[in-house]
Amino acid sequence: MGKFAYSHECDSSISSEKCIVSSGLILLMVLLTKWDDIDLSKIQQENIERDLSASTILVLRTLESIFEGNNPHVQAHQCIQCGNFFMIGDEKINELKDDGQGGKMCMHCAGQEDPNEVKIRRWKQLVLVTDAMRNWEQTKENKKENINRIKELAKGFFEFKSEREMYVQYHEFSKQVNEENKEIGTRLKENFVGIIDKLFEKAKEENIKEFAKFVFGINNKEEKEIMETLHMLQASVVRGEMEYWLPKITNQITLSVGIKTKAGLDRLRFKLLLLQYGQLVEFGVIYDVMYNLALISNGKSFVNDPFPSDENGNPMYPHSKITAIEKENVELANMIKEYYDNVLRNAIAHTKYLVDKNFVYKTDKKNWKREIKIVKKKTELAKSIFRYLSNKIVNEQVEIMKNGYTLKNGDKITAHFSDGK
């Protein structure tokens, strides 16, 4: 979070065993166990506005989890000297430098660089570069200007001289940043990873031509549209969280009265979670990728549009797509079945539901309800599956760009770009 500046004193009203005023000695760290431990009168408001970012959200979410008892082995602290909020594991607290007065100093005041800050800077830069690349892909005008913008943002992280090299180097940088932040988000179950990896290898070894079509055959326009919707829903969650959190660390006035309480925030989170789930279970790209992976691993041809609409323009329902996937590969179908809930999907799609505390109820189906933790688990699983599949496909695309695939007859498959490089 931002280095919130505090005056160099210790207020005796702060009720923390970590802050002691005695014989002129000042312990520099205040242990935070609840929001009320934060002294708003000492926070310089302009620093909060300047430093508000994705890393701020991560800090606030972690603080909340600690205060609610969901992170028992992590301590939250605030430095009285600089105002920096930071979290540290119980076993790491002794690694902080002594302040010479019987207490500990935060990394900032000790002149140490917090490794998390380094990761956050690279994470932020990856976001900026990604946005610039998307803009370059979507905009036909000012192509050269947009390429120069990408080069400027990527400076110090990676370099490139051609489109091919740009994608390859961006991918390598993205892999590094994601590896650094792998603890953020939900990882796919190991048994699912094994199933997907095995099918990718089988398809690549035994059906290489169709595999190459597969890795470049995803519907990017639909994928980007749905992912943008999911990102917007997640951004709405963040805005709601800030409406709840900012009054606890600033003097800002919130606009949404209903989000001033924890119950109001939880209700907003639940409703937006339902909308995310509704998007994911209808997300055609997931079914297209799963079906084609099953096909080509069975030695069959890649199908560009495996689930077309009928003659009246009606799309195929997800449960029918799952049945088609199951005929080709039961394990892939079972992955989808683990997060797919047709009653829940139907309730969201047809707006036949009510939210009450920790449950969602379907209004036209007696005695049916789902707890929020179940919906969250299913939503995160759907995201994890798609994220893993997408990363696998991108990895293969980059491999083709870098080295190409050599067929058994000696022919080579490579990717071609408009710049000819």
Q: Which domain holds residue 86?
A: 21-112
Instruction: Please give the radius of gyration of the chain, using alpha carbons only, rounded to the nearest integer.
Output: 25
**Residue 89 zone, left/alpha/beta (φ > 0; ψ -120 to 50; rest):** beta
The pLDDT of residue 131 is 81
The pLDDT of residue 28 is 66
pLDDT digits (tens, 9 = 90+) for 163-196: 888 888 888 888 888 777 665 555 788 899 999 9
Final residue belonging to a domain, choices 142, 157, 180: 180
pLDDT of 21 strictly over 60: no
Residue 420, domain member (yes or no): no
Q: Is 23 exposed, middle or buried (0-12, 13-18, 19+ CB in 10 A)?
A: exposed
Of 161-165, 211-215, 246-250, 324-328, the range with the lowest mean pLDDT is 246-250
The pLDDT of residue 334 is 96
> Is 112:105 a contact under the CB 8 Å cutoff?
no
- Looking at per-residue pLDDT, the higher value among 118 and 216 belongs to 216
The secondary structure of 310-336, three-state, reads CCCCCCCCHHHHHHHHHHHCHHHHHHH
Distance between CA 43 and CA 39 in Å, rounded? 7
Residue 284, domain member (yes or no): yes
> Is 275:355 a contact under the CB 8 Å cutoff?
no
Q: Assess whether 39 and 146 both reside in one domain.
A: no
Q: How remote is the C-alpha of 205 from its chain's centroid?
A: 32
Q: How remote is the C-alpha of 221 from its chain's centroid?
A: 20
Q: Assess whether 200 and 288 both reside in one domain.
A: yes
Residue 412 forms beta bridges with which residues? 406
pLDDT digits (tens, 9 = 90+) for 142-170: 778 888 899 999 998 999 988 888 888 88
Final residue belonging to a domain, choices 137, 154, 180: 180
Distance between CA 394 and CA 235 in Å, rounded? 25
| Total tally of structural domains belonging to the chain | 3
Of 15-19, 144-148, 182-186, 398-402, the range with the lowest mean pLDDT is 15-19
Residue 9, domain member (yes or no): no
Mean pLDDT of the region 374-401: 89
Which residue type is seen at 414?
A: T
pLDDT of 103 strictly over 70: no
Residue 402, domain member (yes or no): yes
Looking at the chain, the whole-number percentage of residues with pLDDT higher than 70 is: 80
pLDDT of 5 strictly over 70: no
Residue 4, domain member (yes or no): no
Q: Assess whether 360 and 252 both reside in one domain.
A: yes
Residues 6+ apart with CB under 8 A from 377: none
Q: Assess whether 384 and 263 both reside in one domain.
A: yes
What average pLDDT does the structure give for the chain?
Answer: 80
Residue 30, domain member (yes or no): yes
Residue 6, domain member (yes or no): no
